[in-house]
Amino acid sequence: MDDPVNSTILLLDIEKYSERDDVEQAYLRRMLYDLTDRTLLTAGIDETRRRRADRGDSVMELIDANCSVIALLRALLTEVPAQLRSRNRRASASARMRLRGVVASGYVAVDRLDGWVGSDLNHACRLLDAQALRGALRERADDFALCVSDAVHQGIVRHDHTGVPAEEFHRVTVDSKNGPLTAWMHGPVPSGRPHPANGRADASSAPGTGRHTPTASARTPPSAPAPAQTFDFGGATVSGGVFGGTNHGISGGTFSGDIHLGGTGREDHR
């Protein structure tokens, strides 16, 4: 196995690839490779400065660490959405391609069987598979969701270079079997997720909706009971009691309680 070499790691993955038939999958793979090549050339990264691994529904690129990460991010934020928009507008629903992307950095070794080994690469793959990134893509209209590792954010993104606006990246915490990973997502964080800075859900939000749920004190108070009705029977004021028949014998006085007229014991609302 070769010694680990510091590289920029680019991962791109096709959404819902396994739901397509063989012909559609073959078309999407060609489309993905062409889009990746065009994007990297736009960033000034030719084939001599990168190494590709085919993962079926995704592509992995190890890029020379001396290549500009700023140029790579700028191309990903502009070229990829533009290409997807151009291609998808002419494609049928089954041939439409939507992508998740990750940019990370770290040390990766390549063995004699062209296998890639390295914990930094493992972390990048977990970011690509994170529910936060999947959820972000589901809510995007431009068919592309991008996430960068904390190292790329600290070294590049937070410095607000031209074409890579720092304010458009938001911190998220991604769960993994090796513990939580910090990453930075371009664009809005998907609704219904915990607060990106502290990982705690807002107790006042309904799960999965992001909408506020009123507390007990804010709910509409119960309606006040309707005032009791009063009836006048020849000088007798009746405001309650259950009386049947024709009410003979009532010639004065005040009665209180629920009034039910007629001998059935039920209220008559006619």
Judged against a pLDDT cut of 90, whether residue 195 lies above it is answered with no
Q: How many Å apart are CA 162 and CA 172, to the nearest integer? A: 23
Judged against a pLDDT cut of 80, whether residue 236 lies above it is answered with no
DSSP annotation of 228 reads: P
Out of 9-18, 101-110, 233-242, which region has the weakest mean confidence (pLDDT)? 233-242
**pLDDT tens-digit series, residues 59-79:** 999 999 999 999 999 999 999
Looking only at Cα atoms, what is the longest distance across the chain?
Answer: 111
Q: Which residue has the higher pLDDT, 240 or 128?
A: 128
Q: How many Å apart are CA 110 and CA 17, to the nearest integer? A: 27
Q: Which residue has the higher pLDDT, 142 or 220?
A: 142
Q: What pLDDT sits at residue 190? A: 86
Judged against a pLDDT cut of 90, whether residue 224 lies above it is answered with no
Picking from 209, 224, 266, 218, the residue whose alpha carbon sits closest to that of residue 242 is: 266
pLDDT range class, residue 91, cuts 50, 70, 90: confident
Q: What pLDDT sits at residue 192? A: 59
- Mean pLDDT across 121-148: 93
**pLDDT tens-digit series, residues 174-183:** 887 778 999 9
Q: What pLDDT sits at residue 214? A: 41
Judged against a pLDDT cut of 70, whether residue 213 lies above it is answered with no
Q: How many Å apart are CA 141 and CA 184, to the nearest integer? A: 19
Mean pLDDT of the chain: 78
Q: How many Å apart are CA 269 and CA 124, to the nearest integer? A: 71
The ranges assigned to domains in the chain are: 5-205, 226-270
Amino acid at 238: V
Q: What pLDDT sits at residue 270? A: 43
- Whether this model's pTM surpasses 0.85: no
In CATH terms, the fold of domain 5-205 is: Alpha-Beta Plaits (3.30.70)
- DSSP, collapsed to helix, strand or coil, labels residue 45 as coil
- Mean pLDDT across 156-177: 94
pLDDT range class, residue 243, cuts 50, 70, 90: very low
Beta strand pairing status for 169-174 and 116-117?
unpaired
**pLDDT tens-digit series, residues 16-61:** 988 888 999 999 999 999 999 999 999 999 999 999 987 778 899 9
Judged against a pLDDT cut of 60, whether residue 269 lies above it is answered with no
What are the DSSP calls for 148-205, one per residue? EEHHHHHHTGGG--TTS-GGGEEEEEE--TT--EEEEEESPPPTTSPPTTT-PPPTTB
